[in-house]
Amino acid sequence: MLLARFLRNRDASVAPMLALAALPLFGFVGAAIDFSRAASTRTAMLAALDSTALMLSKDAQTMSSADLTTKSNAYFQTLFNRPEALNIAITHVFSAPSDGNFSLKVTGSGSVKTVFATLIGHSQIDFSASAEVVWGIKRLNLALALDNTGSMSSSGKMTALKEAAHNLLDTLKNAEKEPGDIKVSIVPFAVGVNVGTSNVNSSWIHWSEWDDENGTCSNNNYSTKSSCQNANKTWTPKNHSNWNGCVMDRDQNNDVTATATSSSSATKYRAEQYSACPASMMPLSSNWTALHNKVTAMTPTGNTNVTIGLQMAWQTLTAAAPFNAEPEAPDLEKVIILLTDGENTQNRWSSSSSSIDARTQKACDNLKATAIKVYTVRVIDGNGTLLKNCATKPTMYYDVDQAIELNSVFSSIAQNLANLRITK
């Protein structure tokens, strides 16, 4: 046959030439296998980078560059298990393009030794991949429980608080994607909270104590209801239009929960005529001008009852009466910032700091059982242990030694109020 004759022919080196000609062909076929291995390794790297970027982004804005490097390598090495990958290197780039918005890009590179492609002069195949996470505030309900007691008038605390709060509001406004995505409530507190005289006819205000303490006796020699009635005289409560808007703690244990107000007197806020009544509170709003005006109106006065400030802030975030906030949703973050500069000194029942602290701690414990996040800020004075334990986690507690630090603290918190989204 023709083929047999060709192979027996010794007149030329046809067979060796054919073999040599086949080598590049084999090399290209084998290279395809090598490149497929490299592509598979790169895909595994990309998946590990995606997970690494997501995990890092949770705390990236509070971490140093060195910490980011250490943690990115640690996370990646845990997730990426491809022994054939050589010369692995991980880098990151963290940036804040604008207030309230962040970007973290994690890039990996490496190589795979070839098995077949060496025939065509390639001893290894280099590859790289990157994952980027960008995040910014989407929808947020934020309650500011702000100490407005008399001690806030010292050491420039109230001035610094107002500046910090104004800047916080500006940052949030700039981060808002759509009008109404971010809403803020402001709860100035002292011994009580001022819910505003506009609520004088609201069904959730209880008047028994106020009526007993504010009125006139048919005999002007008696100024209290008990002394008036003991003298067999008639006590006439004042018109509720004289109320200054202040309320005190609800009945226990509603004083440390966000139970909805109802027809039950135990769930209602009890009207009080505290002479040191702070500026009126403001329920959740996206009216930035009104929110700024509320901060400007704050004035230091009276004693300290952290419990009612925290409880009322919680109530403004709750999808229940009397404020009926939006229900929880996957894309909605609910957060409280609690700031105080002193020890608890007075509540409805006591002037014992330890006794009032116990009520505050109960409110904190109950809050931690919800999805609401709590930041706490101690300004110069106050029970640091109580406030640190109240924060959702220790890194969400800030101990401020000088009032001028408040602006940077509030800025840091604003930058942390974010939700993640992976882009590529």
Query: What does DSSP say about strands 419-422 and 124-136: parallel, antiparallel, or unpaired?
Result: antiparallel
Give pLDDT, residue 183.
Answer: 97
d(CA 353, CA 371): 28
Show the tokens assigned to 215: 């009125």
Provide the pLDDT for residue 3: 46
> How far apart are alpha carbons 179 and 358 in whole angstroms?
40
DSSP H helical ranges for 197-286: 208-213, 225-230
- Is 139-200+243-419 in CATH node 3.30.413.10? no
Q: Consecutive 10-residue runs of the chain (424 residues): their mean pLDDT?
A: 54 51 52 83 91 86 89 93 92 83 91 78 87 84 98 96 96 87 97 98 97 94 92 96 98 98 98 97 98 98 98 98 95 96 96 98 97 97 96 96 95 80 59
| Residues facing 131 on adjacent strands | 106
Query: And the tokens for 263?
Result: 């027809």
Alpha-carbon distance 133 to 117, whole Å? 36
Q: How far apart are CA 47 and CA 139, in angstroms?
A: 28
Residue 49 CA to residue 129 CA, distance in Å, equals: 8
* Cβ 307 vs Cβ 345: under 8 Å: no
Q: Across the strands, what pairs with 398?
A: 377
Angle at 303 between CA 149 and CA 238, to 5 degrees: 105
Per DSSP, what are the bridge partners of residue 143? 185, 336
Query: Where along the chain do the CATH 3.40.50.410 domains lie?
Result: 139-200+243-419
In contact, 72 and 90? CB cutoff 8 Å: yes
